[in-house]
Homo-oligomer: A and B are copies of this chain.
Amino acid sequence: MKKKVILAIADGVGDKPCEILGGLTPLEKAKTPNLDKLATQGITGIVDVVGAGIPVGTDLGHMVLFGYDESDYPGRGPIEASGVGIELVPGDVALRCNFATVDMSLNILDRRAGRIRERTNELAKAISGLEIDGVSFLLKEATEHRALLVMRGEGLSANITDSDPKLIKGKSSFKRVVPKDDSEAAKKTADVLNKFFIESHMILKTHSANASRIRQGLHPANFLLTRGAGLMPNLEKTADKYDIKGAVVAAEGTVLGVAKIAGFEAITHKSLTGNLDTNVDMKAKLALAANKNYDFVAINVKAPDLMGHDNQPLEKVQAIEMFDRMIGKLIEEPLEDTIIAVVADHSTPCERMEHSGDPVPALIYGQGIRRDRNTAYNEIDCAHGGLGRIKGYEFVNTLFDFMEKTVKKGN
């Protein structure tokens, strides 16, 4: 029977044996009665999200889990822009940027404009809509001094340098953007963007929000520094390609950005923090509500990844037990025709404090699923599971097939 799917993503959950945990991984150490129940009644395996030994970023990891191929990856800019709510069209160039402070000679005084938090939405609105040489600019504020800039027009390229000098020693101006190749598109994009820096500076420096900051003795946000240009490719939305009604419950902009690119509803709530203090009960509640109206619902829990980055095995155990509690909420009442799958976007071993290329444990649970002999959800037991060791796209295809959304090949 055609299934719906709830995919719970334990961000960065994969780990290696930790000394402080007596040689166990955080997943082995954690008390996870709900995950183990799913493992016992379901099928398990390990997944190389992109490939064995290849560390994967959260953005690409979620793209794969939402039905994309590695080669579809558009870079950080477009994903972040999508995350803050800009609807990108193919050919857009999206750039991450900072509000910064420059003096009258355009020397950078502060790369982050005093970590400005207030009225950046007004500043962004004052810039957004600017048009230079047929290219229109969209600017949308993000957290603190961060913003996303989108260039929209014919014949643009993302193959350009950053204007943000990052490290500043002594007096330093912004770096004029230059093309990284000989194409007309890269040349044009760099030219227009360099004009934009001056034009936007003229607008920002006279903005009332900045006048008010100067009166308060704060650095005005009178300049934009850009980095990480990415071209939005002509990506078919996963929602359209597979005819899937999808939703993603998450706190983090990156994950929500990938969700929107895939054509999935991005669901969040002020009590979802992306950290140990997140409200997993709310996550489960939102996911179960979405399950009624959507074929595919993904839930991201970010905390295990953060604890890995901070090398805090004990707190990672805690994050995993929190994740397990959420799984418990999901199965409190029997779900009709819904499969629950659990996976991670990558491993973040505490010892490494970064993503690694270790495979992640995975499970699939629900009525009518082939069951294997494994009874625990962790890196070691799942390696002996009935799904074997598969690639990220194979795991996703498996779920989409349970949804009867993959296309038969041959006849």
Contacts and interface: CB of A to CB of B under 8 A. Distances in A.
Interface of A: 1, 16-17, 25, 43, 46, 48, 50-61, 63, 70, 73, 76, 349, 351-352, 354-358, 368-373, 379-380, 383-391, 394-401, 404, 406-411
21 contacts: A17-B370, A17-B371, A25-B370, A46-B388, A51-B394, A51-B397, A52-B391, A53-B394, A53-B396, A54-B401, A56-B409, A57-B410, A60-B409, A60-B410, A73-B409, A351-B368, A357-B398, A371-B380, A372-B384, A380-B386, A388-B388
B411 A369 contact: no
Nearest to A349: B368
Contact of A56 (B55, B358, B379, B410): B410
A349 B394 CA distance: 19
Report how many copies the assembly holds: 2
A389 B372 CA distance: 14
Nearest to A382: B386
Contacts of A371: 17, 380
Contacts of A384: 372-373, 384, 386
A53 B406 contact: yes
Contacts of A404: 352
Contacts of A406: 53-55, 357
Contacts of A25: 370
A387 B379 CA distance: 11
Given A17-B371, A371-B380, A55 B408 contact: yes
B55 A399 contact: no
Contact of A409 (B55, B370, B395): B55
Given A25-B370, A390-B52, A401-B53, A408 B16 contact: no
B17 A401 contact: no
B411 A60 contact: yes
B59 A411 contact: yes
A54 B357 contact: no
A16 to B, nearest CB: 5
A401 B358 contact: yes
Given A1-B351, A389-B389, A397-B357, A410 B58 contact: yes
B388 A17 contact: no
B408 A370 contact: no
Contact of A370 (B57, B58, B379): B379
Contacts of A59: 410-411
Nearest to A356: B401
A16 B369 contact: yes
A385 B401 CA distance: 24
A205 B89 CA distance: 58
Given A58-B410, A355-B408, A379-B370, A53 B386 contact: no
